[in-house]
């Protein structure tokens, strides 16, 4: 079985899902047709609804504040505990039958205007309005285009359907239920975003130096063979080492294959399908982790790493690989079993990083032309499936797949993730494998060229490619925060930075033709040189 090819299959799965976004409560519904107006100009904010049952703290729910009504306090200490009651009638489309005397009222979504419910509740003396959605998602409550001069002086919050069911059950089973409403502000920058940035940059950095070092060793070995051989060998030294060079055709086909796979994930997404992806991820992760560990341990256990034994089905396997394999398999199995636990993200990131680094050793961009085609296709792919797909499917296909909305689980595993440590809303900062792997192919190519051309970091291209990737990822974070956590395609920002930096710099230095077509500097043939010197 060709584990390298299997690894490539797994990475194609990951390439189908590469958004960059933060989870902290899903808000749906576009309100472009209902702009802000006097009395209906609040920003949409997430609201925490903490409950107390008979004086004992109970469940906490998350809702979203309406465009209208008063704003909600941001600090928990400034929020009062207020009694909760059910509306009568339930939809509050007509005036409640009883005075509410400062209570928070639960209202079904119903069919009348949100502002009508709020006016009726305020007239009856309610201090706040909790509207229960008829779906699991949150919904932005806006004013109708023809509504003017609104003066609603109580806050209105939309809660998902399951939260309404729980609140109603509390009221039915207990005599006293109180709620506390507040909307804590999210920090501008969370340390999780810093760590994720370092993780992505560090992964490409490690993979680049490993790939460049292997390329240099292959060239040295080739030159030794040429010096000692009577005839020039056919092909390149790297050709038999399991390296796969991407061409322009395969770069274009990526968009077609990845799009088809993404649609399949979107249509077939379910619990069992995510389980299948977990299995594939574990197989790829085991191969990646094993390859990385063997490469590191080979420095101290060279003899063990160069001694082989034939294993049925797997062929010749080194003793070092056999020693490392059980640990890698156990690591992946433990992660798969406990992947829903709070610390499971650590195992997922370890397996994911090892897989990405391994793929960056197997798959290579031969020149800047192929790298430009690949990143340009991925650039269009990312934009289409994050933004334009909303018009065709009424939702962003890529984000739905990455979150695993229809799977009953916490998204697909082909992501690096870190919990937002100081965010009161929790959630994760995540990045898709493709946002590291695809730019990484071009960045590693730049360092291989620098190594073969004997260029220093300053005079070469790797440093600038690495800085461009880091800046592109940083701009992605800025856009993510400006868009209030809504999904952002990282390649939208990364690709222009990398290609712009490399092409501009290469043209200025006069290396563009070599980088664009050859991908490596011309080297004199030692074999020919030796023959000429003996004549």
Instruction: Report the alpha-carbon distance of residue 15 to residue 253 in Å, rounded.
Output: 13
| CA distance to 467, 501, 519, per residue, from 494 (Å) | 11, 11, 21
| Distant-in-sequence, close-in-space partners of 348: CB < 8 Å, separation ≥ 6 | 335, 339, 413, 415, 416, 417
170 close to 60: Cβ distance less than 8 angstroms? no
Catalytic residue among 108, 190, 382, 423: 382
Instruction: Report the alpha-carbon distance of residue 144 to residue 35 in Å, rounded.
Output: 9
Distance of CA 406 to the CA centre of its chain: 18
| Residue 60, beta-bridge partner list | 50
In SS3 terms, 466-490 reads as HHHHHHHHHHHHHHHHHCCCCCECC
- For residue 127, cis peptide bond before it (omega within 30 degrees of 0): no
Distance of CA 464 to the CA centre of its chain: 24
Q: For residue 279, which of 214, 335, 195, 203 has the smallest C-alpha distance?
A: 335
Is residue 30 part of the annotated active site? The answer reads no
Is residue 88 part of the annotated active site? The answer reads no
Instruction: Report the alpha-carbon distance of residue 442 to residue 435 in Å, rounded.
Output: 12
H helix and E strand count, the chain:
17, 15
Active site residues: 382, 435
């Amino acid at each position: 079985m060709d584990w390298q090819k299997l690894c490539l299959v797994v990475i194609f799965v990951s390439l189908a899902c590469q958004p960059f976004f933060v989870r902290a409560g899903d808000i749906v519904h576009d309100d472009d047709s209902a702009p802000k107006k006097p009395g209906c100009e609040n920003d949409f904010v997430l609201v925490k609804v903490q409950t107390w049952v008979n004086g004992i703290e109970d469940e906490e729910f998350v809702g979203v504040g309406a465009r209208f009504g008063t704003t909600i306090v941001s600090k928990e200490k400034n929020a009062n505990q207020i009694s909760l009651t059910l509306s009568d009638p339930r939809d509050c489309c007509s005036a409640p039958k009883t005075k509410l005397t400062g209570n928070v009222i639960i209202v079904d979504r119903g069919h009348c205007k949100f502002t009508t419910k709020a006016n009726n509740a305020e007239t009856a003396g309610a201090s706040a309005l909790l509207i229960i959605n008829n779906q699991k998602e949150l919904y932005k409550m806006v004013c109708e285009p023809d509504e003017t001069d609104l003066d609603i002086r109580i806050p209105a919050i939309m809660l998902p359907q399951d939260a309404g069911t729980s609140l109603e059950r509390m009221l039915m089973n207990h005599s006293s239920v109180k709620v506390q409403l507040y909307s804590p502000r999210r920090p501008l920058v969370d340390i999780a975003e810093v760590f994720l940035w370092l993780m992505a940059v560090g992964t490409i950095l490690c993979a680049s130096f490993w790939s460049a070092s292997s390329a240099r060793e292959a060239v040295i070995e080739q030159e030794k063979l040429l010096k000692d051989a009577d005839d020039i060998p056919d092909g390149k030294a790297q050709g038999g080492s399991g390296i796969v060079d991407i061409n322009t055709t395969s770069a274009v086909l990526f968009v077609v294959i990845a799009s088809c796979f993404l649609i399949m994930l979107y249509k077939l997404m379910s619990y069992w399908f995510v389980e299948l992806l977990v299995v594939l991820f574990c197989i790829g992760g085991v191969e990646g982790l094993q390859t990385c560990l063997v490469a590191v341990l080979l420095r101290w256990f060279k003899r063990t790493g160069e001694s082989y034994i034939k294993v049925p089905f797997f062929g010749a396997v080194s003793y070092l690989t056999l020693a490392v394999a059980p640990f890698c398999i156990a690591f992946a199995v433990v992660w798969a079993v406990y992947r829903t636990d709070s610390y499971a993200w650590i195992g997922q990131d370890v397996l994911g990083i090892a897989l990405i680094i391994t793929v960056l050793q197997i798959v290579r961009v031969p020149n800047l032309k192929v790298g430009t085609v690949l990143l340009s296709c991925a650039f269009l792919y990312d934009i289409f499936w994050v933004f334009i797909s909303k018009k065709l499917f009424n939702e962003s296909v890529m984000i739905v797949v990455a979150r695993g909305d229809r799977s009953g689980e916490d998204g697909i595993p082909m992501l690096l993730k870190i919990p937002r440590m100081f965010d009161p809303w929790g959630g994760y900062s995540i990045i898709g494998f493709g946002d590291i792997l695809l730019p990484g192919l071009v960045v590693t190519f730049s360092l291989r060229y620098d190594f073969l051309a004997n260029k220093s970091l300053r005079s070469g291209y790797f440093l600038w490619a690495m800085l461009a990737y880091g800046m592109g990822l940083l701009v992605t974070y800025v856009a993510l925060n400006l868009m209030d956590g809504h999904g952002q395609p990282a390649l939208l920002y990364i690709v222009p930075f990398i290609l712009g930096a490399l092409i501009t710099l290469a043209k200025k230095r006069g290396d563009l033709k070599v980088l664009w077509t050859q991908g490596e500097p011309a080297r004199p043939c030692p074999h020919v040189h030796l023959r000429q010197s003996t004549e």
